[in-house]
Structure 1
């Protein structure tokens, strides 16, 4: 892996030197081949401090698995119908694949094919062609070159484990988001070290009730958990879906979840993803009252954050118990108990979580559904959930409790209510309640579920996935020249999370069919969404922060984040530290309301700025979130 990163960084250095020359690739790669024999080590000094324009040849900048489809996108950006043909002549040129370590011997040569006969794609404003090089399967480091112009793609790898380092970086985002926990070497890079936050007087170990601030008798220890997003507040209802998705990511492909992600719990015999989930669940337990109800959120009363978080001295407050937070905890505790019980070391915790889940379930069923628990006096997001969302959480709780408890009430609840959940009642409900789809899929495969209820769930799921979804689910590769179709309205706040969910639903469909051809189609479609996030998009950007040391050539340099969004962390290319790596940014937002000129005038896929400015309201575009990170991790870990 060190050799791979060496070649990538050195190739980037020479690319910036030789970019004006049409044959830069041969000069640069020959030098790389020679130097690599005698030089091997860090290349940080070679990393450019300025960001060059992305190339016209777009690839997944991390790479591809050997047996997967591999299609580069050749781009004419921001095209018009009046363009002279010379401006897009490169779209139908001949391209070749060359190995970084042997550039004089191309391994594949072929011609690109226009998408839709050269039609301008309305969602991006681009003309595009595809260059299919799927037959190249030998592991190694490659670039794609235009044989006429010399233009070249970013370097990329072909390897079975090509995404493992990316997965580690993306998962470690949760470690950096830990509240009340020291982030220090060797687990934190020294550039992003900080002491434990919010453990001072009046903070998380002695949080006060927001509706009775002077009552010391109501102080509670609510330390731990993850910062929600760019802010440092903590919301039970915002954290529940990510926990489900991370647990699903583990159960869908446990082999990739090793015990060496370099977090403090590494090498304890438990996959690090489960250790990270445990950290959040410990906080969930502190948010649960003795009667089973769960307080909905914890945070500050203003926006006067300190950087880094350990310097923040503001008091912290918790909001009331609510039906939404309580049923979310019931579902996550039951799900975690089901996963954890397979590890002898975690059996006592699994038993505790199971009992706490039952307490929360009973509290939820004794109280009315509440939708106005969060007055938002505690800043900033509204943690309330509508009744349909709470019903989905109740279905999830019933699914996982039915696996843990020999009690027909849970199966009966599923029988009576599963058709009322969002996936079955909204055209794109599978995207906004994807954990419900995952949970019902598990139930449809259960060895203990009553046969009649299970058959009903299986039938309804099959009809939903194969007959009732919008037709574009069957054509996501061809409807979008960037091979990751999404309707215009979904390019909203947090659109990158929606892209990931599209990929995850395609993976569910692929895993749910016995038709090998359809399975392959939906797997390829799922990969299309992953490649989009890795650089096969109109901006040619990897929508993860500061991934240069993991192989990206053009990565998100900035994000709106109260810790990593300014000062020495401001920009990955120009600041001394830059933001921590692996954070998924919000994504293009056609509904952006800030003052940055020209953003909303762009086609939907281009409504993005690589900025973090508060005055530009960049939280609407580049703010990360634990809720954006989890669906991406679930998608990435599938491959």
Structure 2
């Protein structure tokens, strides 16, 4: 074993030990960034003693005094905990918690704009994920880097001798776009739900988003800054549409590259296999984007709507074209769990029908076809993630009800509200006050918590009922420190945050601090990266010895299963934080 590997494993062991020590001797667990005055505020205290809780201001004055609450078990961590509701503290300021007369934990902030820096950082991170351009110091600061992956000569998979073809290989220009996660691949399926979520931020909170700036280069100065960033990825997505309308799945190397800077990852890049789900995700996002951009760039909006209709038509002609990962390709699969594409057709039809209505051609033959397809493909109860986009269709129909008939709208609202009510019921009774289902504890569990928060925000937008906003707050609280690890899961934020994410630019840039604003994947029991056989190789030590999903996390770059980052994880974090900021700052 090399010296470097000894250091690597020692660091992993130390990280695991420090995190589990913090669990064993945890104090109060709170949102480490703070709360708006009118927000629900809860403090989770591990243990079962009889001490109450005092909240004091910095002058030592007691502003709230609470008796010890009941003790609850939380199966996901194996803890007994007590939860204190301190929502009565509404005056802006900094407060400290006391228990048994002793000061415990870190100060708590109550005030305005408590999440604005988080919103800007979580969105600025997409700039740091840009391919095909240098990140200049005036925008990227100490994380400046040279351009990587110009992607102007991407090989069509199967057209060259390396991947089974007979020739030198057909090439396309597939520049721009965001790196998907901790690696350097660019994927249509994951870009789909990511761009949808970012566009939802702008659609729901345009006035708030127009007020923000986070220092990115401006190609289109008339665009709002968020739409400038999103276009960088939309432009890339357009490059993967073939002349027949079908869309390639991804642009990657054949195997994952090492932990190097983008400029040093020089293996050939391939556009890999047109398929139905990718084409439909593309169609849905292009249709949605055509609506959002129509008032600021009609030509671009028309281009996207045309591309969306072409992709949908290709998918209709090729309904069995499901992506199958070739044997010689080892990069991310992003293969949906089903093979019928019903959820992708549902989402794309909803977005296309609305886009046609907004473009003033709601009554043409194509629009009628989208509506017919949507009516014949009922909503399911499934929540939103890249592998099932049913809820995205329900969001669209429920919140844009003027564009759809009343029966569709009623079905969509029922879908959203049932999910929201189930989440809120769990949050109201959970020891940690966390609206999460058992299946939320999977790869990317933190994104599941953020997506749950998105559902609850949509329910609030539909009803105006603050209880749903309180549930969304609890989802964000968990991500920002009210969790058994006592950390925020966002790099650069809070009193304790991840320092060693699985993210190749942060691993290889010789900068101690990771790029800020990244939501790491979070704990779960998948253990895909754990060294279970005891042999020396590049897998993590067994950090999940407690065998509880909320504890199965390690802050080490080896842990691609719990500490990687991804664009579809950051997007719902940004949505959730921006929603609370926009709603409470009105």
**Partner of residue 335, structure 1:** 288
Unaligned runs of 5+ in 2: 1-17, 162-166, 532-540, 581-586
Q: How does 1:266-285 map to 2 (within 5 A)?
A: 268-285=221-238
SS of equivalent to 2:177: coil
2:352 is matched with: 401
Q: Cα 1:411–1:631, aligned 2, differ >3 Å: closer, same or farther? A: farther
Change beyond 3 A, Cα 1:195–1:112: farther
What residue is the counterpart of 1:429 in the other structure? 383
Counterpart among 138, 153, 159 of residue 206 in structure 1: 153
Task: Quote the Cα distance in structure 2 between the aligned partners of 1:145 and 1:561.
Answer: 39
Larger mean CA deviation between 161-170 and 432-441 belongs to: 432-441
The superposition leaves residues 290-329 of structure 1 with CA deviations (integer Å, 9 ceiling, x where unpaired) of 2222111111122342521112222211212222222221
- Corresponding position of 1:74: 45
User: CA 1:408–1:444 in 2, change beyond 3 Å: closer, same or farther?
Assistant: farther
Return the structure number with greater relative CO, CA threshold 8 A, min gap 6: 2
> Which digits, 9 at most, give the CA deviation of each residue in 1:132-168, with x for residues without a partner?
22222222333323351222x3233322221110011
Calculate the aligned-residue CA RMSD, in Å. Answer: 2.6
Q: Which residue of 1 aligns with 2:526?
A: 591
Can you list the C-alpha shifts for 1:528-564, whole angstroms capped at 9, x where unaligned? 00110010111111011122xxxx1011222112221
C-alpha distance in 2, partners of 1:272/1:465?
Answer: 30
TM-score (norm 1): 0.78
Q: Which residue of 1 aligns with 2:471?
A: 525
- Contact kept? 1:244, 1:435, Cα under 8 Å: no
Q: Which residue of 1 aligns with 2:538?
A: none
The number of residues matched between the two structures is 538
**Is the Cα contact below 8 Å between 1:374 and 1:382 reproduced in 2?**
yes
- 1:183 is aligned to 135
Aligned equivalent of 2:28: 57
Other-structure match for 1:457: 408
Quote the Cα distance in structure 2 between the aligned partners of 1:490 and 1:160: 30
Encode CA deviations 1:305-362: one digit per residue, 9 max, x unaligned: 252111222221121222222222111111001000122xx22211111111122122
Q: Is residue 95 from structure 1 mapped to residue 40 from structure 2 by the alignment?
A: no
Distance in 2 separating the partners of 1:268 and 1:416: 39
Matching residue of 1:606:
551
The within-5 A match list for 1:47-446 is 53=22, 56-76=27-47, 88-89=48-49, 92-98=51-57, 103-106=58-61, 108-114=63-69, 117-146=70-99, 148-151=101-104, 153-190=105-142, 192-199=143-150, 204-214=151-161, 215-216=167-168, 218-258=170-210, 259-265=212-218, 268-343=221-296, 346-375=297-326, 377-385=328-336, 390-405=341-356, 406=361, 407-417=364-374, 420=377, 424=380, 426=381, 428-430=382-384, 436-444=390-398, 446=400
C-alpha contact 1:591 1:600 (8 A) present in aligned 2: no
| Contact 1:319/1:374 (8 A) holds in 2 | no
Query: Contact 1:431–1:505 at 8 Å: present in 2 too?
Result: no
1:492 to partner: Cα distance? 1.1
Gaps of 5+ in 1: 1-49, 77-87, 569-575
- Return the alpha-carbon distance in structure 2 between the equivalents of residues 460 and 135 of structure 1: 38
Structure 1 distance, partners of 2:152, 2:427, is 50
Displacement after TM superposition at 1:60 (Å)? 0.8
Contact 1:124–1:538 under 8 Å retained in 2: yes
Aligned mates of 2:205, 2:101 — CA distance in 1: 43
Q: State the SS of the aligned residue for 2:483.
A: coil
Q: CA deviation at 1:253?
A: 1.4
The equivalent residue for 2:461 is 511
Aligned equivalents of 1:158, 1:337: Cα separation in 2: 39
The structural deviation recorded for 1:415 is 4.4
